[in-house]
Amino acid sequence: MKIALIAHDKKKEALIAFVKENVDTFKKHGLYATGTTGKKLMEETGLSIHRFKSGPLGGDQEIGALVAKGGIDAIIFFRDPLTAQPHEPDVSALLRLSDVYDVPLATNEGTASAVMHYISINESGVGE
């Protein structure tokens, strides 16, 4: 599976902690991220991640284009609903694309855990 990882500035540390908790699963898949988030994740986890531009420069839109081409299977976007800054990625376009293309998108740790469960089921072939 190909998994996109994005986080608003105030949620980057939470995403890093989440990825560390699930590193054994993440290392089995193709990972994509916006620039700064991807850089921090690689430094903290040692995972190989394809980095797009940073969010303010359109990295989230690059991920959206990959979703539209069928190149992303799940998105984990830890967003800050209370204090997100204008320069940070907007989740609304990715939400629309994920609905159009039936791609799971998690916006917080609770739904991210559900997406990880979905990924682990697909890894093991359960339900096929």
Q: Which residues are catalytic?
A: 60
Residue 87 annotated as part of some ligand binding site:
yes
Phi-psi region of 109 (alpha: psi -120 to 50; beta: other; left: phi over 0): alpha
Residue 45 annotated as part of some ligand binding site:
no
Residue 8 annotated as part of some ligand binding site:
yes
Tokens linked to 68? 């539209």
Residue 111 annotated as part of some ligand binding site:
no
Residue 125 annotated as part of some ligand binding site:
no
Residue whose tokens read 């469960």: 117
Residue numbers in the known binding site for substrate are 8, 12, 34-37, 54-55, 87
Residue numbers in the known binding site are 8, 12, 34-37, 54-55, 87
